Amino acid sequence: MSGALAAAAAPRRPSQARAALLRGQGLVGLVLVGIVVLAGLLAPVLAPYGPNEQLADGNLLESTAGHLLGTDEVSRDVLSRLLYGIRVDLLVIFIAVPIGAAIGSLVGLLASTWGFADVIAQRTFDLILAFPALILAITLATIMGPGVVTVSVVIIAAEIPIFGRLVRTSVLSVRELPYVEASTVVGASRWWVLRRHVLPNSLESLTVQLAVSMSVAVFVEGAMSFLGIGVRPPTPSLGTLINDGMRNIYVAKVQVVGPLVAVVMLVLGFLLISQSLGKARRG
Amino acid sequence: MVRYLIRRLPSALAVLALASVLIFLLIRLVPGDPATTLAGPGAPPQALAELRSELGLEGSLPSQYLSWVGSVVTLDFGRSFVIGGDIGTLIAEGLGNTLVLAGAALAIALVLSLLAGLAAVILDSRWLNAVLAAFSTAGLALPTFVTGPVLILVLAVLLPVFPAGGTPPGGPFEEPGATLEFLILPAICLGLPVAAALSRFLTESLRTQMRQPYVMTARALGIPRRRIVVTQVLRNALPAAMTALGIQVGYLLGGAVLVETIFAWPGLGQLIAKAIGGRDYPLVQVLLLLSVVVFVAIQLATDLIHAYLDPRVRLGGRSG
Amino acid sequence: MRTTKALPLALLALLVAVAMVSSGCGSNGGAGAATAASADETATAGDNASTDAGGTPTDGGVLKLATSFDVDPPTFFTGNNAQAFIAGSVYDRLIDYPPDSLEPQPSLAKAWKLSKDGKALTLQLRDDVTFHTGRKFTSKDVQFSIEQYADPKRVAQFQRTAAAVVGFDTSKPYEVTLKLAHPTSNIFDLLATVPILDRRTIGEFDTGKNFVGTGPFEFVSWTPGSKVVLKANKDYWGGAPHLEGAELEIVPNSQTQVSQLRAGQVDGIYDASFVDLQSLEASGQFQLLKLIGTDRALYVGANVESNVLKDPRLRQAIAYAVDRDRIANDVFRGFATPINLPWPSYSPAYSAKDNTTYTLDTDKAKQLVGEIGNVPTVPLSYVAESPNASASAQIIQSNLEAVGIPVKLEPTDVAQATKQLIGGEYPGLWVTEHSFGQFSPSTLAVTAYPFNAEQNASNFASPAYEKAADAAWESPEPKSPAALQAYKQINDILLKDLFLIELVDFDPVVAATPDLHGVTWTKRNELDLANAYLSH
Amino acid sequence: MAERLLEIRDLAIDFAHPRPAVNGIDLDLDRGEIVALVGESGSGKSMTARAILGLLPEGARARGSIRLEGQEVLGLPETELDRLRGERVAMVFQEPQTALNPVRTVGWQIREALRAHRKVSRREARARAIELLARVEIPEPEVRVGYYPHQLSGGQKQRVVLALALANDPVLLLADEPTTALDVTVQAEILELLRGLRDETGAGILLVTHNMGVVAAVADRVVVLKTGDVVETAATGALFAAPAHAYTRQLLSAVPRLPEPGDPVRLVEPVATVGEPTLRYEDASVVYPGRHGQAAFAAVDSVTLALAPAEVLGLVGESGSGKTTLGRVAAGLVPLSTGSVWIEGEDLAAIGRARLREIRRDLAFVPQDPAASLDPRMTVAESIAEPLDIHSVGDRAARRARVAELLEAVRLAAEHGSRLPHELSGGQRQRVALARALALRPRLVIADEPTSALDVSVQAEVLALFAELQRELGFACLFISHDLAVIYEVADRVAVMRRGSVVESGPIEQVFANPTHPYSRALIAAVPEPVPSSPAGAGLGEMAS
């Protein structure tokens, strides 16, 4: 019986994770994220107006037939701005986070193979993690000035230690697994072990973390834009749109609804994806 | 315990030392000369020189650093140039307020997550679990900068139950009743994501503990399930939860920047936003260092509490 | 002779103030008299908004106001909302201006006389005034206060005017003679601005521990980042105030201010955005105190040394292309009026005809652009933290592009903006606010940095402009024919050379509960609460 | 005239999952009787025991009848069951490491057990705890009562678990594999204690075990289970003497045995000792430096040992003896602190990385845990081919042929090649691990407890396969095991390890027949023989530890 239990507890193939994404929680998450991503990608097709096009229909309109989400202070169509604004967040989510993850993973790999690098990497990670993310954001914004680039740098900087530690721990633990030792004993090189065992094994926990980090990235962009150190006007982003909408909440209530829903869909979606992947991983 | 502390101390101190160097250098990385920015571009050279010396911008970098560290260690922070006043006083006041706010948020988070975790494990009902999962997901998915204004809108403006922000007339320490009234919305706003994360973690680790063989042992001895949960399972889940809590407390510091701005709570978060906005470099330096010190201290404290709660760590290896 | 060293500091403080408020209802006017707002003035702000003591004043109660600003003792004289709160209630000035004129009214000075050559001003002082410490107010305090104000260490806006006071005769306790370096047409602007300080407690003033004046309220406490508390001065020479005390809460987020006002937590707020002001007004539950006479103006500046903008035709095209009405309506929600020149209607330099030289004329603008040929992209800088500047900049961008001037928006932060403004380092156009139009016209030309004839943000240099500015300043009487002639020249240059293009003029607005009555203010939007009361 | 304590009739346990656990078991147990419930993995023996206490896992449902002292307990509500548990029926679990709450003291846990059934003061509880600890023969009970579990040894922990079970003087004790996780010497002590307790209290004991030796040592009667069915019930003596059912016979024959005095000595072909030994340790030590005030610890202490080509050296010892570390040293996974290790005449410490890789071509490692011995993401064929891939042996077709060959060699069908590890049974997985180890025709195989996680019948098959392959391929092997009987079955020579040192080594028949070191003697004596001793099982127990 112990054998059967052990078999059930053994990690599954990645296809299991793929399957987890296609049902239940995972599917809901995927759909939520997918809708927002698609809306952003198809912005030029879907948006009735340009993101910065000032219209003659009047400003701070509530929802009308022509402007489902109303217009903003300078008479721009909020729906169009929302669709284009998603793109900034997509940039942050799908470029900044993976860059941070890649750098962090590389550093983690290096740290797990070379003792000296390990000491340096570990202390660096400690150091970055010792700054709460938002304070790190404010600090970097002071040096670099606000903007999308700063938001991305903050996210990259915040992700490096997270992925670095994750990869380092997972390399070290995978390397001690009996079957990896068995390969080492027959003469597998470090590179071989890395490629054949460590990476496939770490991939799942990395994907889970990637999803979590992507939801955090949406948060960071929003919080930074809210504090005025994020994306700069007139560029729309979910954070700036929420900020604008909140500012006009007594006049045009509908303004804030769109970006808010998009943020919640993204964060919730990524959260659900990470949960379902995590569950699949635990078996 | 002491031995454990001694073991953890060097790495904590290393982080502090590195952070102090980094903060020191960061300020010097800011484009433009801090003294010129603070004095205004038209300031007379003599005033500028005076300012430079007061800012500690004279001499080589290492000597600047040493003198800065020296003054910080002796709690001589100097004065704030933009906000005005003695930095020590500013920080003391802000710290008091932030501690009250963060403490309240933490209390809310602890109570909520304990209730959620215990209810989930003891009652183990399907719909309750679904409700709790929905609660924690919502808590994690709603950004603070949205919950804050919405809380104000609903509970202060539409239904004027609580004040929309600010501090009680006599400051947060004068009248506990009034303080509570002012504290409740910002504390909820700050504590909600923490409560969500913590309850999720606690529930998960309680469930893991429930599968441990010692629970079966206890049940086989006829100890009622509820009692096992409260006296044994929770006790076992606590050390790990403490570590998670430590990380969450770190987030509280960052979240305070947003929440204090939204609710006009005059704490460190607001101070740091103001200091950076005004390019008040001496204050920024000290505040950044303080946030790192607090963070490291919290990590150390949670490690120690973890050690204290877990006899395996506290007492070391086997002695019998 | 003209040194402008201290000015940048004042400007910096001003800009910080402007950019930090989300509404832009910043502070920093000049001195002014405090009389009750008249009925027709408040009518614009809603008919329930009368702050006249129409009924019987009720005694007692503590007035609570909220602002984003905090007191900063070293720059106290720049007078942000928090500092103005203290300055208006704790201190008195020698003279006051009524909101809609520049006729000096007695305050601590009962009467005054200017010498024939315009270089000596003798003031008769009240002899029944004591400081909150109980000490008698005398001519020595006048000298001390003006000297403090002139000290470059203290960032003060009328520093150049204060520095023109080169001597004092304080031989009599209740009479003081100011000796001027030259006839100074805006000397009363200075007197309406300088708060009379207690020289014995200046050390506490410097640290913000205590502010001692002669005003209707006494300072109780300042908690940085939190609040300022004042209590009534029962022995005020003008009669004890009705209120028991006044408090100012420091609330950084303007939305939170609005929420606090709506929740009844505070009685009045300084920094509501115009959108919020509009909806507060529409709710019918609040009054709006339009601080008439504390005018601020939004303008587009142009660096005339930049390759593109050095062509005056382009600047003219811009003046025709910008839609001032739209900015006034969409951004300022009708709280502002389009202008071409910085003067309010009561100013001696005001000219209704000149003020409408440029109105929206797309065809003319296009024609001018066509004459120039291919216009390269023009940068347009603005402080991103300020929603007004930000929204206006976007409208201007769209206006200019409509006539064929490509514009690139350059959002900056306050520190960067200050540096660019003071150093004349803007790459092209910029949008921001200025004040000082509400004072004597010469004040603008010597005090307001964008207009300074000698050196300004636009890098505009013209001997004619310099001469006209000097003539305006050094004529002893602001309304003398020579002065009026100088104003005319200044106006012509402003409209012809267009190194800054005025857009709209507005008065800052305080939103308050309708229970608040009897509030008045100075030209520097320092609320005077001496006669204010709360009805319940 | 024994009093009937437990009467199970037609007990069936269903899971929500397709697997039926128990199909219809009948079982009786009298007061003062020890009944062994024997079976391999999946036979349902643990489920049966847990059903008596109503502690089945979630989703499991029991039908039939369980009567305790005449009272039906199946289907009792939870509160009634709580009154029964610990008070009348108590249970001892397999894994003493985790059966105790790690953050509570021993005394606290006993007090909690007492409190569940009666009001006791703190002082009374403490007195009772000390009394119980004394009863389970824990030295210095007054001190140990304040200990946390991690401060106790494995055997002491199991005694505490026993003390907990005895706290409320139950009439029936359920012991689920109570000695499986323990070293043989400790196992003997615990079994002795169990029997003593039975004699003292007159309680009945239901002993769930897979170990026929344990059964022979203590049980009065035996119930043999196979996949949820009772195949045979008999008195212990009768069962061992004449097993009626084929499965029982198979089970008994699968148990590896030590030689009895008078047994013919196992024939070991003399191994040629000419030339370099395949593996040689010279004064090898592995010392873990003391950290944070703890003393340095020598996992391996000055071991000198040689392994000739084609020889199987059994390395035996209890947990913590250093046998695994010694194996890992040979595999190059653990560096030596002092001394040297030589493979075919080359000092591992002296050669470069490239040469090490070459040497490793002739080396293979079979890990212990079948759950972790294969990469869960790789198919069986991929796993077996991995060593070939690493050294780029032959082309793709050649490798595929070699994999097929190896699968056949370890008696697996060709279609197993495309399966994933979790689709295989434990025995199949260990065979794959073996095939993979043999892929490069190694000259040295290090096998670390390769069969200890397997059921006896499976273990027997794997061991037979191993022996056959070893004879056929002629590799040298360092075979590490805690099980003396297994070592006896496969090894040519044996080395006995204790606390990092080899206390005795020599040809197998010599060491087992005439152990010279007292520890070897104690170790061999402690092994419960699958032969029922005299009724009380005398001759078991007294030993030096």
User: CATH number for the domain including B264?
Assistant: 1.10.3720.10
Question: Average pLDDT in the D218-224 region?
Answer: 93
- Examine residue A8 and state whether it is found in any structural domain, yes or no: no
Region for C525 from its dihedrals, namely left if φ exceeds 0, alpha if ψ lies in -120 to 50, beta otherwise:
left
Q: What is the residue type of C230? A: L
The yes-or-no reply on D/C contact (3 CB pairs or more, < 8 Å) is: no
Reported residue count of chain D is 545
Contact D364, D440 (CB under 8 A): yes
Q: Where are the alpha helices (DSSP H) in D101-201?
A: 106-115, 122-135, 141-144, 154-166, 184-201
- Examine residue B69 and state whether it is found in any structural domain, yes or no: no
Nearest chain A residue to D422 by CA distance is: A7
Residues 6+ apart with CB under 8 A from C455: C4, C424
Cβ separation B171–C72 shorter than 8 A: no
What are the tokens at B203?
Answer: 């529930």
Element (H, E) at C217: strand C217-223
State the CATH class of domain D4-88+170-253. Answer: alpha beta
Q: What is the pLDDT of residues C75-110, one digit of tens each?
A: 888 888 999 999 999 999 999 998 888 899 999 999
D437 touches chain A (CB under 8 A): yes
Task: Say what the pLDDT of residue B68 is.
Answer: 85
- Examine residue B208 and state whether it is found in any structural domain, yes or no: yes
User: CA dihedral in degrees (C280, C281, C284, C290; nearest 10)?
Assistant: 120
Q: What is the pLDDT of residues B14-41, one digit of tens each?
A: 888 888 998 888 777 776 677 776 666 5
Nearest chain B residue to A119 by CA distance is: B11
Cβ separation B258–A227 shorter than 8 A: yes
- Examine residue C123 and state whether it is found in any structural domain, yes or no: no
- Examine residue A26 and state whether it is found in any structural domain, yes or no: yes
- As a whole number of angstroms, the distance between CA A81 and CA A68 comes to 12
Q: What is the pLDDT of residues D363-383, one digit of tens each?
A: 888 887 767 778 888 889 999
Cβ separation A185–D420 shorter than 8 A: no
Residues 6+ apart with CB under 8 A from B247: none
- Examine residue C76 and state whether it is found in any structural domain, yes or no: no
Question: Average pLDDT in the D14-33 region?
Answer: 81
Q: What is the CATH number of the domain that holds A109?
A: 1.10.3720.10
For C:231-290, CB contacts with A below 8 A are 255, 258, 273, 275-276, 278-279
Q: What is the extent of the structural domain holding B134? A: 87-316
Distance from CA of C22 to the nearest CA of B (A): 13
Residues 6+ apart with CB under 8 A from D87: B222, D117, D168, D170
What are the tokens at D491?
Answer: 């090894």
Task: Say what the pLDDT of residue C19 is.
Answer: 40
- As a whole number of angstroms, the distance between CA D366 and CA D430 comes to 8
Mean pLDDT is highest, among B102-111, B164-173, D209-218, D284-293, for B102-111
Task: Say what the pLDDT of residue C396 is.
Answer: 95
From chain D, the residues in CB contact with A170 under 8 A are none
Question: Average pLDDT in the C452-469 region?
Answer: 90
Average pLDDT across chain B, whole number: 83
In the complex, which subunits touch D with 3 or more CB pairs below 8 angstroms? A, B
What percent of chain D has pLDDT above 70? 92
Q: Where are the alpha helices (DSSP H) in D280-439?
A: 323-330, 353-360, 380-390, 396-409, 426-438
> Under an 8 Å CB criterion, which residues of D touch B?
53, 55, 78-79, 81-87, 90-91, 93, 95, 98-104, 112-113, 115-117, 144, 147-148, 150-153, 156, 161, 164-165, 167-168, 292-294
Residue A134 pLDDT exceeds 90 = no
Residue C48 pLDDT exceeds 50 = no
B31 touches chain A (CB under 8 A): yes
Q: What is the extent of the structural domain holding A178? A: 16-282
Cβ separation B26–A143 shorter than 8 A: yes
Cβ separation B85–C9 shorter than 8 A: no
- As a whole number of angstroms, the distance between CA B200 and CA C150 comes to 63
Give the CATH superfamily of D259-362+442-526: P-loop containing nucleotide triphosphate hydrolases (3.40.50.300)
In angstroms, the Cα distances linking B251 to A130, B141, C163 are 10, 15, 52
- Give me the long-range contacts of A156-160 (CB less than 8 A, separation at least 24): A156/A96, A156/A99, A156/A100, A156/A103, A157/A100, A157/A128, A158/A100, A158/A128, A158/A133, A158/A216, A158/A220, A159/A96, A159/A97, A159/A100, A159/A101, A159/A104, A159/A213, A160/A100, A160/A103, A160/A104, A160/A107, A160/A125, A160/A128
Count of CB pairs separated by less than 8 Å, B with C: 126
- As a whole number of angstroms, the distance between CA D67 and CA D88 comes to 12
- How many other CB atoms are found less than 10 A from the CB of residue D344? 17
Instruction: Name the more confident of C19 and D526.
Output: D526
Of C270, C236, C268, C375, nearest in space to C314 by CA: C375
Q: Please tell me which of the candidates C273, C391, C413 has its beta carbon nearest to residue A145.
A: C413
Contact A265, A257 (CB under 8 A): no
Question: Average pLDDT in the A65-78 region?
Answer: 89
Nearest chain C residue to B159 by CA distance is: C263
From chain B, the residues in CB contact with D49 under 8 A are none
What is the number of structural domains in chain A?
1
- As a whole number of angstroms, the distance between CA C246 and CA C231 comes to 6
- Bridge pairing between strands C429-434 and C516-517: unpaired
What is the number of structural domains in chain C?
1
Distance from CA of A135 to the nearest CA of B (A): 6
Element (H, E) at C509: strand C509-512
Residue A15 pLDDT exceeds 80 = no
**Is the Cα dihedral B124, B128, B131, B132 positive or negative?**
negative
Q: What is the extent of the structural domain holding C436? A: 296-506
Distance from CA of D85 to the nearest CA of B (A): 4
C360 touches chain A (CB under 8 A): no
- Examine residue A7 and state whether it is found in any structural domain, yes or no: no
ipTM over 0.85: no
Element (H, E) at C318: helix C312-321
Convert D491-528 into a string of H (helix), E (strand) and C (coil): CCEEEEEECCEEEEEEEHHHHHHCCCCHHHHHHHHHCC
Contact C54, C38 (CB under 8 A): no
Q: What is the residue type of C530? A: A
From chain A, the residues in CB contact with B279 under 8 A are 142
Q: What is the pLDDT of residues D504-544, one digit of tens each?
A: 988 888 888 888 899 988 888 888 877 775 443 333 333 33
Residue C17 pLDDT exceeds 60 = no
Q: Phi, psi (5° rounding) for residue D397?
A: -65, -40
Of C88, C93, C118, nearest in space to C104 by CA: C93
Query: Residue A61 — very low, low, confident or very high, per pLDDT cuts 50/70/90?
Result: confident
**Is the Cα dihedral A56, A60, A65, A68 positive or negative?**
positive
- As a whole number of angstroms, the distance between CA A179 and CA A186 comes to 11
DSSP helix, strand, coil percent of chain D (3-state; round to 5):
40, 25, 40
In angstroms, the Cα distances linking C375 to A54, C167, C404 are 22, 54, 8
Q: What is the pLDDT of residues B145-198, one digit of tens each?
A: 888 888 887 887 778 788 877 777 666 666 777 788 888 999 999 999 999 989
Q: What is the pLDDT of residues D117-167, one digit of tens each?
A: 989 999 999 999 999 999 888 989 999 999 999 888 888 898 999 999 999
- Range(s) of chain D covered by CATH 3.40.50.300: 4-88+170-253, 259-362+442-526
- How many other CB atoms are found less than 10 A from the CB of residue D34? 25
Residue A179 pLDDT exceeds 90 = no
Q: How many DSSP H helices and E strands does chain D contain?
A: 20, 20
Q: What is the CATH number of the domain that holds C404?
A: 3.10.105.10
Element (H, E) at D176: strand D172-176
- Examine residue A254 and state whether it is found in any structural domain, yes or no: yes
